[in-house]
Amino acid sequence: MAAPGENLRIDGDRLWDSLMEMAKIGPGIAGGNNRQTLTDEDGEGRRLFQEWCEAAGCTMGLDTMGNMFARREGADPDALPVYVGSHLDTQPTGGKYDGVLGVLGGLEVVRTMNDLGIKTKHPIVVTNWTNEEGTRFAPAMLASGVFAGVHEQDWAEAREDADGKRFGDELDRIGWRGEEPVGERKMHAFFELHIEQGPILEAEGKDIGVVTHGQGLWWLQVTLTGKDAHTGSTPMEMRVNAGLGMARITEAVHRIAMEHLPNAVGAVGQANVYPNSRNVIPGKAVFTIDFRSPDLEKLNSMRARLEKEAAEIAEDLGLGIEIEPVGHFDPVTFDPGCVSAVRDAAERLGYSHLDIVSGAGHDACWINQVAPTAMVMCPCVDGLSHNEAEEISKDWATAGADVLMHAVIETAEIVE
């Protein structure tokens, strides 16, 4: 089928205006966003997205995990749709573009197709996946994981946030649980536009990342049990200090990742000590380790090394230790056909491009298990993300959505 003409371009101003409009919902305290999943702000963002989709002539589907599916009809209503999208939920100190660019970039593809009167054989569906971030309810990519059959829905709905609120109850509270069973939708293909969240594209001066693979991930939640005691009157040799254990294990995580370079990362992002009082030796510490690598052997080797060393540290300090995997996916290889559609689109449009491995996890990593999937990436300033100062340029957003549109339209087959 003829590829779309290279003159087909999205409306970058309209995309940018929509990004800025959505960014007003759940504002952060430093110019970014705090629109965490299943909060009232998430509900507000969903309402705005639905309003825009319906104004663009789409019909909105909603499944029992709150995943949203805005459908633009194709010439053949029985043809499997080409899906495009990402997530609207953000980190507590998130940026304006992580996830949102992929959802509103997908909407912009539909808006442009409407403007140009483009008809495709396959319908197009723009998605918003619930709880991609996994910051309020672990793990990340929770609802796309249920859709892909990786997680049981009951288990997912029972996930609790730091205040003990259940995912399922919060979904009902904000009124965004649909009727549609999760995962019954079949896809012709899925494309996700996302900011790189790393420094490579900007440093290399490239407009587009053609994502061939995604690195794998382990999230390990560690609970150390020691003994609360007075920080002043307790002799050093009598202390059973969970905070000290956490510090030593945190350092071990960094050292183990460094020893597995290249292509390995590790850090502790979430950490709590109890009772968290200035003059009480922490009797308990709960923290989450994040290991990632595109190399499966390295990924599992980091986990094995950490579990061994953490047990030794705990024993040395007389601490109880529990290590619970709370998130995992193996390294991902995206569909070569869809990846080529992205690369050819960038080439045809005259955008510089680079094959790249995604450092972050994305809904596409799970959807890749049930449909041919690929990702388009655009650079972000200083590679910064999961930070309110996250920034991209309008040109980068426009280039990414242009490539997304060409890949989607080509895969959905223009009807002459």
Comparison of 133 and 388: residue with beta carbon closer to ligand HGY? 133
Nearest distance, CB of residue 244 and ligand HGY, angstroms: 28
Q: Which of ligand HGY, Mn ion, none lies near 192, with the C-beta cut-off 5 to 8 A by kind?
A: none
Comparing C-alpha atoms, which of 250, 230, 407 is closest to residue 334?
407
133 lies in the binding site for ligand HGY (CB under 6 A): yes
Hey, is 270 helix, strand or coil? strand
The reply to whether 312 sits in an annotated binding site is no
Q: Which residues contact 271 (CB under 8 A, 6 or more apart)?
A: 246, 250, 285, 286, 287, 288
150 lies in the binding site for ligand HGY (CB under 6 A): no
For residues 19-58, which are near ligand HGY according to CB under 6 A?
none
Comparing C-alpha atoms, which of 332, 327, 330 is closest to residue 374?
332
Q: Which of Mn ion, ligand HGY, none lies near 134, with the C-beta cut-off 5 to 8 A by kind?
A: ligand HGY
Nearest distance, CB of residue 91 and Mn ion, angstroms: 6
Q: How far apart are the first and last CA of the chain?
A: 10
Hey, is 117 helix, strand or coil? coil
Q: Confirm if 401 and 103 have CB atoms less than 8 A apart.
A: no
Q: Which of Mn ion, ligand HGY, none lies near 99, with the C-beta cut-off 5 to 8 A by kind?
A: Mn ion
Which residue among 224, 356, 360, 409 contacts ligand HGY (CB under 6 A)?
A: 360
The reply to whether 328 sits in an annotated binding site is no
Question: What is the rounded CA–CA span in Å between residue 359 and residue 158?
Answer: 28
Which residue among 32, 102, 123, 134 contacts ligand HGY (CB under 6 A)?
A: 134
Q: Which residues bind Mn ion (CB under 5 A)?
A: 98-99
What is the per-residue burial (b if ≥16 Cβ within 10 Å, else e) of 390-416? bbbeeebbbbbbbbbbbbbbbbbbbee
Phi, psi at 154, each rounded to 5° = -60, -45
Q: Tell me the residue ranges of DSSP E strands in 142-283.
A: 189-195, 208-214, 216-225, 229-230, 265-274, 280-281
Nearest distance, CB of residue 193 and ligand HGY, angstroms: 15
Alpha helices in 125-165 (DSSP H): 142-147, 153-157
Which residue among 62, 110, 140, 404 contacts ligand HGY (CB under 6 A)?
A: 140
Q: Which of Mn ion, ligand HGY, none lies near 361, with the C-beta cut-off 5 to 8 A by kind?
A: ligand HGY
The reply to whether 98 sits in an annotated binding site is yes
Which residues partner with 160 through β-bridges?
Answer: 166
Comparison of 134 and 331: residue with beta carbon closer to ligand HGY? 134
Comparison of 234 and 270: residue with beta carbon closer to ligand HGY? 270
Q: Give the strand pairing for 82-86 and 189-195.
A: parallel
Question: What is the rounded CA–CA span in Å between residue 303 and residue 218?
Answer: 7
Q: Give the strand pairing for 284-293 and 216-225.
A: antiparallel
Site string for ligand HGY, 85-124 (x = CB under 6 A): ----------------------------------------
The reply to whether 309 sits in an annotated binding site is no
Q: Which of ligand HGY, Mn ion, none lies near 374, with the C-beta cut-off 5 to 8 A by kind?
A: none
Which residue among 145, 266, 294, 361 contacts ligand HGY (CB under 6 A)?
A: 361
Question: What is the rounded CA–CA span in Å between residue 39 and residue 30?
Answer: 19
Comparison of 141 and 405: residue with beta carbon closer to Mn ion? 141
CA 283 to chain centre: 34
313 lies in the binding site for ligand HGY (CB under 6 A): no
Q: Which stretch binds ligand HGY (CB under 6 A): 5-13, 129-137, 172-180, 375-383?
A: 129-137
Site string for ligand HGY, 318-357 (x = CB under 6 A): ----------------------------------------
The reply to whether 87 sits in an annotated binding site is yes
Annotated binding site for Zn(2+): 87, 98, 133, 194, 386
Q: Which residues bind ligand HGY (CB under 6 A)?
A: 132-134, 140, 360-361
